[in-house]
Amino acid sequence: MQRLSGMLVGAVFGMVFVAINAHAPLPSAMGTIFRSVAGLVLAGVIVMWFLAGRRIRATASADTQEKHASGARMFNRKYVVIVALEAVALFGGIQVLRALEWAPQAGVAWTALIVGVHFIALWPVWRAVSILIPGLGLTVLGLVGLIMVWTPAVEWVPFVSGVLSGLLLLTGSAFYAQRSFAS
């Protein structure tokens, strides 16, 4: 259930990435399509999360409750340290970018980069490919966006580092949630 909860969190953030960044220079209709698809994927992950919770409660025995209690280590001290460092890097980095007068779009790219690096940092803690693959993807999309900030394509940074990152999070969350739910 904890893994599905992680997928739910990833899907919510993926939806936020898409909802905030699916705007011009994308045609309005494309932005609406991206937001609608993101909403449907998020809804699917939410449904799997609720159904899995019901299934776990219905089949819970002493053995499974003990097994799930041992899974509580997923959100341990290492996790808290990584998330705290992520918050400092995210908000501190955005302030540095503003102070250096980078284009406002750099914030989207920086966010994707830091979220990706945070996933990569969590991989040794959780040992789950489901977090490593999106982490690598978001890191690359964030780096590409930071490079694009210094090109004539700067207006496309929210699409590359925002919408594509969000779709990657949503796709990964839905795929791994479905696999976890099916097992």
User: Residues 6 or more apart from 104 whose CB is under 8 A from it?
Assistant: none
For the whole model, what pTM was predicted? 0.89
pLDDT of residue 3: 76
The C-alpha atoms of residue 4 and residue 52 are separated, in whole angstroms, by 8
The DSSP output letter for 75 is G
* Residue 171: domain span: 2-182
Give the total number of structural domains in the chain: 1
At 45, give phi and psi (nearest 5°): -65, -40
pLDDT tens sequence across 3-50: 788 889 999 999 999 999 999 999 999 999 999 999 999 999 999 988
The C-alpha atoms of residue 137 and residue 173 are separated, in whole angstroms, by 13
Amino acid at position 166, single letter? G
pLDDT tens sequence across 66-97: 455 545 567 789 989 999 999 999 999 999 99
